[in-house]
Amino acid sequence: MALSDSVTTCLSPPVHYVICKLGFEKTDTYDINNIVSENGEVCWQAVTEHVCYLKSDQSVDYIESIRSLGPVCESVNLHFKSLTKEQFVIQYALWFRWTNCSELFLEVFDVLQYTQTTEVALGLMKLTSCLERALGDVYLLIGKDCPFLLRDLLASEQLAVVFGQAVMNVLRVFIGSPYGLNLRNVLWHGFASPQEIPAKYCAMLLFLTAGLGQLLQTYLLQTKCILVHRPYVIFVSLEELDVFPLNHEMLSIAEELVKLSSFVLKTMLPFWMDALTAFKQSRYADCVILLLPQLEVGLRLLFTTTNKCPNRLLTAEVKFLSKMLAKHLDNEEVNQLPAVLEEPTMASEFLWDFLNHQEGPRIRDRLSHGEINLEAFPRKVANQIVALAITLLCRFSDEDMFAFKEHMVIKPLMNCASCYRSRFHPISRLKKQV
């Protein structure tokens, strides 16, 4: 596991180029007054004209579009930095109401005024999940079954009817397409370290969300439709989710473990530290949003190491988390990761329970798709994710950290982990019913 020290990025070379360099190649500057009016109205044509298309089939040319949109994003970012909070609220607050979480978008504006890279990444993760939920509500004005995947939602005819195809193509350059910047997936699956996400892309998505609100208002006035927001998912039977004990001393030890454990990639250390800080500040949704991608990174590192397939450390595959925990690899060979996780912690069963089983809370899915009210995220759920993280940090520590593993504060946690049994597997649910 010395690999955790040597990995400097989880982005493959092509993805690293697209996210970190491509949008900076053009250094043109644009007059912000041509992109947004004095009262905060987005001039969509000044944005959509930067989307380029392939001559062969007129599909979006993502590489050229990112290169062309780069200076526009920078202009928007500088525009936001020039505004006071009061000015921003006056010009834009109204246009975030359609998302049903206006406050979050106003918070993202605050984040953009500073250079805290982890906060930009966290803001983007929350912004994209809430935006996806809101777009799903708009889809249901016309369609019936909202697509589960963001890329299918953005490619839908229903949203093109409301916003226009050119506008949807702009969005697809930033989120939803593996050929574009793909910011949502790159962050939610833990591929990007804090310093690898340019703040100007966060600013641009904030700007585009306001512009979508303006277009939606026009559509609703023309059609006399009313936008209805789907209710948030509420966790029930929280007592079933209460597995691990967690206290202040455990959190203090976790802060030390994070710096020493081979489960943590050094480039990702700021995410871990900020997650623990968020928990102590009772920001439970923020804590879990920061922690879940890091658990996936650590597991991906373990998976690629134990199964000797290092090339998969830098790839984003559909349902990769499920694949990591499956009994067999794609080539039918036995997957070594579950066995590594089982001793002494039953992390594999816990992860299936909390993240994958249909009857379980499916925390990652619901958070990343905007189905949970972030303000009311329960502490009990955050407790369990943090506690699991601590057991993994302990489990994958060097031998000379025996004292940590046997520490009287950590010992109860490790004991709970070692005897954990699935609660949400179909067989477990059937047993309970019987």
Instruction: Answer yes or no: do 208 and 245 share one domain.
Output: no
What's the pLDDT tens digit per position in 261-316? 889 999 999 999 999 999 999 999 999 999 999 999 988 888 888 888 777 777 65
Is 1 within a domain?
no
pLDDT at position 406 is 56
pLDDT at position 347 is 67
What's the pLDDT tens digit per position in 47-78? 999 999 999 988 999 999 999 999 999 999 99
pLDDT at position 382 is 93
Mean pLDDT, range 221-232, rounded to an integer: 96
Residue 365 is inside which H or E element, if any?
helix 363-368
Q: How far is CA 228 from CA 47, 94, 213, 364, in A?
A: 28, 17, 14, 24
pLDDT at position 311 is 72
Instruction: Answer yes or no: do 342 and 371 share one domain.
Output: yes
Residue pair 67/181 in contact by the 8 Å Cβ criterion: no
Structural domain harbouring 345? 238-433
Q: Which of 223, 253, 285 represents a domain boundary (last residue)?
A: 223
Least confident of 81-85, 228-232, 395-399, 425-429: 425-429
Q: How far is CA 86 from CA 91, 153, 229, 349, in A?
A: 9, 34, 27, 49
Is 7 within a domain?
no
Q: Which of 191, 223, 255 represents a domain boundary (last residue)?
A: 223
Closest CA to 285 of 104, 85, 93, 115: 104
Is 255 within a domain?
yes
Task: Classify the phi-psi angles of 360: left when phi > 0, otherwise alpha if psi is within -120 to 50, otherwise beta.
Answer: beta
pLDDT at position 242 is 76
Instruction: Answer yes or no: do 112 and 207 share one domain.
Output: yes
Instruction: Answer yes or no: do 309 and 171 share one domain.
Output: no
pLDDT at position 344 is 46
Domain count, the chain: 2
Q: Which of 160, 195, 223 represents a domain boundary (last residue)?
A: 223
Regarding pTM above 0.85, the answer is: yes
C-alpha of 72 from chain center = 24
Name the phi and psi angles at 53, rounded to 5.
-130, 150
pLDDT at position 1 is 45
Mean pLDDT, range 147-171, rounded to an integer: 97
Instruction: Answer yes or no: do 419 and 315 share one domain.
Output: yes
